[in-house]
Structure 1
Amino acid sequence: MRISIAMATYNGAKYIHEQLQSFVDQTRQPDELIITDDCSTDDTESIVREFAKNAPFKVEFHRNEKNLGYCGNFNAALMKTSGDLVFLSDQDDVWFPEKIEYMTKIAESNSDALAVMNDAELTDGELNSVKLTKLGQMKSAGMGPERFVMGCCAVVRRELLDLCLPIPKAFKAHDNWIIAFADGLDAKVVNSKVLQYYRRHESNESQFIANRTSKVTRYHFFKHSIKTLAGSGNEQRYKLMEQKLVINRLNEILSKSSVKRRNQLEIMFREASNKLDHQRLRLNLRKKRLLTRGPLLMKLLVTGHYRYSRGILSFLRDMLG
């Protein structure tokens, strides 16, 4: 089985060498490392090219002609991979030596899985452990594995990439897009083994609450959720756009005469369509007066419609108008 690593870089000179060395230290090394760089202005390129001279596997470095952004840069890297299994990598983490070998075995023993994910140990910027893991933080916050979408902890099959690449330019996060398809097809496996350090520092892209380096509780998660939901409707409108993009891609896939997993894709399409209808209805109801809006929202709640969003939290947000 051919193994690829896809890495997207941008001004990663401070930390990237440690991650590159962790690839060399793997008990099962990759067949190729594909790096796309988003017009870095530091020494990222020179560090990678020097590393490539003596790397025991193929290393490709591609510098984008223009800045593509975080999601676009990862899309470019993934499009250039050729492996049967593709590991997604951040530029500032450090993998444990057994990560590739262990995750490959998990993928091989779960032949229907399109994405396999591992846990990660949270550290500070100097790679000092804070004695917390990503899945541990999610569990203590009351979140289930369906919320686990961290790309740097994922290995995906070529079959999944064939379905979901290229990632639409309007989509913000590459991992949200890719894992949404794995989840929608009920083809994601989450393994609790910790297989890497996840470095937290001032330049991290992800601000997800479970990535904090202090203990997260259900109270913290509830408080964070209320603060987020009480904001403007921009986030809800973006979610609406996301669902439209997913549905458009599913339409493209299902229009082909020969498609693997057609039944699962059709189920995913129906669920995505229901979510889109739900989000549209929520936005329309928010425009109504509270006396009119309240009973209608209560009906949606008791009939289970809020399963397509975030349950009682989304209901409370809609009550605010």
Structure 2
Amino acid sequence: MMDKQFNANTSVSIFMATYNGAKFIGKQLESLHHQNFANWQLWIRDDVSSDETVSVIKEFEEHDKRIHLIEDSKGRLGNAQNFNEVMNYSGDSDYFMFCDQDDYWFQDKISSSLTFIKEKERECGSNTPIAIFTDAEAVNENLETISNSFMKKVHVNPYDKEPLNKLLAQNYMYGCTMLLNKFAFKLSVSVPKDAEGHDYWVALVTSLYGHIFYLDKPTLKYRQHSNNVTGLKQGKLINKIKRNLTLKGWIQTNRIVDMSIRQANRLLDIKYDNPNKGKSKLVRDFVLHGTEGGLIVIPFLIKNRIFRQGKLRTLIYYLSMIRKNKNIYD
């Protein structure tokens, strides 16, 4: 067993937010059951599914006491706030992971992620907020390989030396590939309603107050299908046209840009004993420029390497940032 690499008390909490996932969730839960690191607890909250998702979860819960279904009366919260809610059930674990309902984890996903983050903790200090993320194998609905490297398929450079700058404009760290130490986790709770996603919020918080590292290794099969919130469908030509070259796409871009400014503003509310003043100033300036708009925002964005993936997306993003009178407090 790979557990022997770690202290016997090393523990991992895994969070899953489900919604109408009955078709695939059984395979995902099977993959967790077969992990070669055993000291984990899985916390699941279902967002009022109308299919058999809850029944499948309860069946697995009955046979594996590490699986816990949270049942409450809070109703449908949406993906980000569903994850936010389930993150409150972590207990006193050492490390934390996010799990999508429709993927399939490789047997050493937890153990290899732990090995990597412990190496980084030795380099940076065990009290430092650290998050790691990995590559993934992109697969279709039947778990057949589309690409051995999701990162290469979507043309993302995961080794950015200034991740905060890029993250202010666009998230490229997927929650299903992440592992956080307790210091990064505690700073990230709770996820504000202004956040685009739980993983985006965690990436921003950790890049601002700690460190993010990339493990160049696929640790799961990242299933691509019509119901994906993110994924390869975002890069299809028809979706690029809808997103960038239509009125509906322009309105959606403006909504996302406004949310990103509000999200960045929420970062400044976090209390941390040892903030990086340079990074904090970058966030404050980003919020200020984004809120006021005007052509002056363009030199600021270029100087600080704040851009989106692809020249067209960056151009549309810059045009949206120019808009004046954006009220981040709406």
User: Match for residue 168 of structure 2?
Assistant: none
Q: What's the CA shift for 1:205?
A: 1.3
- Partners of 2:134 and 2:67 in 1: how far apart? 24
* SS of residue matched to 1:28: coil
User: Match for residue 63 of structure 1?
Assistant: 71
* SS of residue matched to 1:33: strand
- Partners of 1:274 and 1:240 in 2: how far apart? 15
- Partners of 1:202 and 1:130 in 2: how far apart? 15
User: Match for residue 246 of structure 1?
Assistant: 264
Q: What's the CA shift for 1:26?
A: 0.7
Q: What's the CA shift for 1:278?
A: 2.2
Q: What's the CA shift for 1:24?
A: 1.1
What are the ranges of 5 or more consecutive residues in structure 2 without an aligned counterpart? 1-9, 164-170, 324-330
User: Match for residue 131 of structure 2?
Assistant: 115
Residue of structure 2 aligned with 1:301, choices 299, 302, 323: 299
Stretch moving more, 242-251 or 269-278: 242-251
- Partners of 1:58 and 1:302 in 2: how far apart? 49
- Partners of 1:34 and 1:302 in 2: how far apart? 42
Determine if the alignment matches structure 1 residue 180 to structure 2 residue 189: no
User: Match for residue 98 of structure 1?
Assistant: 108
User: Match for residue 150 of structure 1?
Assistant: 174
Determine if the alignment matches structure 1 residue 137 to structure 2 residue 146: no
Change (3 A) 1:17 1:318: closer
- Partners of 2:72 and 2:298 in 1: how far apart? 47
Matched-pair contact (CA < 8 Å) for 2:95–2:182: yes
Matched-pair contact (CA < 8 Å) for 2:298–2:318: no
Change (3 A) 1:10 1:223: closer
Q: TM (normalized to structure 1)? A: 0.79
- Partners of 2:217 and 2:209 in 1: how far apart? 23
Alignment RMSD = 3.3
User: Match for residue 270 of structure 1?
Assistant: 281
* SS of residue matched to 2:305: helix
Paired letter, 1:160: A
Percent identical among aligned pairs is 24
Paired letter, 2:131: A
Can you list the C-alpha shifts for 1:162-197, whole angstroms capped at 9, x where unaligned? 112111123231111111112223511111101110
User: Match for residue 288 of structure 1?
Assistant: none
Matched-pair contact (CA < 8 Å) for 1:7–1:89: yes
Matches within 5 A, 1:195-234: 195-206=219-230, 208=231, 211-212=232-233, 227=245, 231-232=249-250
- Partners of 1:270 and 1:253 in 2: how far apart? 15
Q: What's the CA shift for 1:59?
A: 1.6
Paired letter, 1:157: N
Residue of structure 2 aligned with 1:32, choices 29, 41, 55: 41
Q: What's the CA shift for 1:245?
A: 3.9
The structure where helix makes up a greater share of residues is: 1
- Partners of 2:257 and 2:149 in 1: how far apart? 28
Paired letter, 1:119: D
